[in-house]
Chains A and B, each alone.
Chain A
Amino acid sequence: RKEVEQDPGPFNVPEGATVAFNCTYSNSASQSFFWYRQDCRKEPKLLMSVYSSGNEDGRFTAQLNRASQYISLLIRDSKLSDSATYLCVVNKRGYGQNFVFGPGTRLSVLP
């Protein structure tokens, strides 16, 4: 099983739609979780951290399910500018800064 798995997509959704991505991880000792966004030919940028109790930032909601070892990202009221690849990131050994990036899920928001 890969360390971090994501559905590569692409997810093609109309503007205004709600879309959700899931990510599963294999290391039950992992403690740090993030969603990054990467635009075409650009560097990844931190979108949000994922906390145990779940957290929200505007139209974005992140959830963590430790028992099932997955995290999710929900985007409400999609905008054209949300089109990007969304990378799930998990730390590798349960501590420190060795992060593993998932392969990413591509989102296209269509007018």
Chain B
Amino acid sequence: DTAVSQTPKYLVTQMGNDKSIKCEQNLGHDTMYWYKQDSKKFLKIMFSYNNKELIINETVPNRFSPKSPDKAHLNLHINSLELGDSAVYFCASSLSFRGQGSGYTFGSGTRLTVV
């Protein structure tokens, strides 16, 4: 039973297209995230939602739009894809505590290649 599942696993698409990546967690966590890992393997946070509310929105082009229909789902829509968007996108979730942090559980990643 997968804890954090994201689809698709692989996505190859042409520049200019619009695509979505979906993420679902069945851990009962209240916070979900999108991270981007580029070719240099650096993991950088993009967005975070807590109970469907956007709480972190790092400097990300507004072509990227997250949507959280409920606290178990966080989707990522990307408009007008560019070559530089090629990366692995990881969804993650956690249970937040006031003043403390617990670790994340990651999905297996979506490898996006823009050609």
Contacts and interface: CB of A to CB of B under 8 A. Distances in A.
Interface in B5-56: 31, 33, 35, 40-45, 48, 50, 55-56
Interface string A71-111: 00000000000000101010100011111110110000000
B43 A31 contact: no
B66 interface: no
A96 B33 CA distance: 13
B43 A44 contact: yes
Interface residues of A, number: 23
Contacts of A25: none
A43 interface: yes
Interface residues of B, number: 27
Nearest to B31: A97
Nearest to A101: B43
Contact of A97 (B40, B44, B96, B108): B96
Contacts of A89: 103
A27 interface: no
A100 B42 CA distance: 10
Contact of B103 (A49, A95, A98, A100): A49
Contacts of A43: 90, 106-109
Shortest beta-carbon contacts, A-B, top 4: A32-B101, A43-B106, A46-B103, A101-B43
Interface of B: 31, 33, 35, 40-45, 48, 50, 55-56, 90, 94, 96, 98-101, 103-109
25 contacts: A31-B99, A31-B100, A32-B100, A34-B103, A42-B109, A43-B107, A43-B108, A44-B43, A44-B104, A44-B106, A45-B106, A46-B105, A91-B101, A95-B98, A96-B55, A96-B96, A96-B101, A97-B55, A97-B94, A99-B104, A101-B35, A101-B42, A101-B43, A103-B41, A103-B42
